[in-house]
Chain A
């Protein structure tokens, strides 16, 4: 076994080490914390490249591309609980993506967070996050994955609430944590169920793992009480975890609020990597997800995958609809992320691992780029996040504009950009789905909306002239103007400026990938797909003409152009003059726009139902606790206390017969003392003598019987 497989653990361990050191370091050791985090990430990136190269070598030499390393952790009962890690194409691709994007975002953060007094803590959390995320990726055990998954959730909480002195950030952190926890509960139940059925949580273990044919067949042969196959039940429970983590409908509510965190966090965690963990999870347990009782080779889709597809399609459409009516630059991107995650899920559901993962990878690059670009803009505008108050930034921040433009076109799916290839593949797969055509139409409409809202955003932000000095009076969107960044920003001047090189260089690097990455997965040369699926690869330009790819591609191109055109029609035709002018689309139908602006009032709905129910239950529990349980406890306590006091009373008063006062206060005269002393010890000894008599009598009496 190659050394890289054995030492794969180093990849998450290095950032963890960096996090540990900087957690112990003093606040002022900024260079140390940043250096450690970036250095460890850099080494991890190199190791990830080694791992990737290793898989490539295995593949080219025709060996199995999956290698695992398992070790026993501890024993309970007769079973050994094993953990381990796995290196396969999926792991390798994710490792390279996370370490590379993470590295760039770390570097970017040096510039973005330079004025923050908690710089050290920030890098500690970032490194911890990266470590946990890499742990999720390499795990060959559902348990290890779950542990890392929870650390990911924790760091997300810590980083969203990084500016904890802002009540909104604290609330958002709490919301993110609790909402994802709602998804994690069924996930955990799924893990427990899986363990009880298969007796192992290792994914791959030379045929004995829970994702290998023996276990899957066993799971398929069992049926639950409600008639669902056990495999389906477990898969759906595990998918609940993915719903929470990846912000899928209906647990998406936390993701837009998570934008309260520093922008590099939004880029790293809430766009590129963590939210992708849910998608990755589904891809990792795909053998379980896709298990069905149909005849092999038949076009049958498992119930679990159908659920994945529908949830994904609904989320994709929902996210893009809401993004149209947002004014906060980061919230637009957040809803866009929700929508794109929906795409990935849909891709997994209709097309398989490669289809969904390809979009995950391309999306990670261009969405990280978009967020970092937004960060650069916010940095340049001294903390302003409301797009109505931006404008004219194109000339002031040319590099940011250029890279943002590339990312935006990639996100829209503009032909030849990376997003085009990956999104198109999903749409193509959806078009050929054997269950229903609805996901395809939902996806296509979402693609139209994506192009539209991104065009809207770009025109708002970059075109025209700056509106930064104007006041926004629209009360309903005043919240969009958050001083997240200004809170720790000491620029003092409102002059818009291009960001320093430490921020623009990562942007430039990312934009190269946003442009070119798609060419690894074109229908003509589907390298990525064949790499993940371990299938033979051939260059075949004729592939465009087969299986209706070209029509779908043309249709989606038309859709993109239509979206861009509509965006131009509404926002680009005449420049936006004033920050207070109503939105061009909003004028068409203000009520609908308001509903979209409030994201279909999901927060209000949850507030009125679940949260109210929860409050009611907690009030009942509080009442029970206060009056019933506490009453019982208090009764017992006072009984014990009473007994203790009685005991103490006997001990001090009866036994010591009021001696204490004597020696303390009165006289030190030896004579008196000795007399009192003797009296007291007599008391003691009387008890001893009593004990002697009692014991002897009892024993003698019993001995006679």
Chain B
């Protein structure tokens, strides 16, 4: 079947899912999965085929003819959308089932199918107007998914914040698309690098898509929305929805002429997002907030790659740009897979214990072995450790940056600091996930809820296993997906790049396989040793405490203490400290909270000031007719004076 027929099938199945969702949960799951599989097949057939799929229809929507296009770039994102969309639907079947949530689960089905469909529309539409329609639909569907559990106050607040931030971004996109349409005379989107007048539009696109992607100062909506949404929604938000921002930046930096400074700016934004995002992640106590801030970091990594590619464009199309872009696009995929896996794991923990706070968890590895194993696999991947997929993509970005740094030219000055900041972010990312894993799964249970945790069922485990499989396959055999990535990179600016696999990638794959075998052998040997019969078991040394209690364990804040100290200038933690005094201290307190610094310290006060200003203007409207007439007279006299002065000139 052609991609067009497959896409039609996918759209039909998803629409059937929307219609059947509120009433028939089982047929909804079937339809949504069928839609996801059909969409994935369409994307793969474009990625493995040579030609893009393009369709001009005679049908017009909003006065514009429908023009659809699926090329390498959009197919790569579409494939990710279908994988995460399908996996999330299966996961929701148990995680957000009708039995537990009789009111919101049917609604959730409808919006889920709607979200997948509208994001697909954004990816395939090749007309500015339809792109905006799809974008708006996708924003609204995501809003209703975030606020599924709308009885809770913080969920409603998070939903509002998301909606407001998204629409702020959409304002930029409206400006972008309408200016584009005004300057080119048509809403149709296609490569137009030769029109130099369009260059400044890149900044509008960067701002608009940057809000959705959650780059550092614009990420304010992201942590609360990801933390308060149901976990399968957090997974698709973090795995796919914020990638739509990346898609926009990649798409329009490829189709439009870019300013000379774009590369440096995007690399700078990426490096800042990576480092500060992960610094915030490390300081969090809420598991899902940690994952959300980690998404900011990964968006930063992706943008570093994109920025490298843009830098190469202004440096005479240097080959290292393609390498960096390949890394970025692969990281889009990888982050989608492992972050969805981690959010599913977090959902499993939340499902079992009812809390997201790491200081109330602990010791879950005994009761939840599957979740523990899969979460740890995701942690290894997100920390970019070999032999999993995170390493492959970050390594490609590094290769691009190193080549740029050794090239003679200005590019080195942007690439070198970015590589250093990327390395720092990677180190802190590893520490963050060491902390999360240790707090949640190791040690002793800190609360009763953690003690009574239970393993998740098959519907939740299967999607986690599938995503873990994606992580492992990309990690061990990067050569398998290299053709897909080169196809996407090739259609970015319509340049041919060598389809053969670069030598380092083959070596990397082999090293990963060898490493896996080595680790597996060592693990098997340790396992046998640990289960030997003649082993003597006793408690570990307890530092001389007579009665060790669970509260003596490391807390997440104490684990993160030193590193949070380095970043105190941006984290701005609020602390309350009362030291113990005397030989028999009565009470001592140490509380520390890391606020949403950008939101609470910058955007909050600014909005309060704007509100105050607007409220004071409202005082002019008091209902006294006499004063209204006075305003009129003053206005008239003012206009008269203006006319007299203007006439005098």
A binds B: no
B contact residues vs A (CB 8 Å cutoff): none
Binding site for B on A (CB under 8 A): none
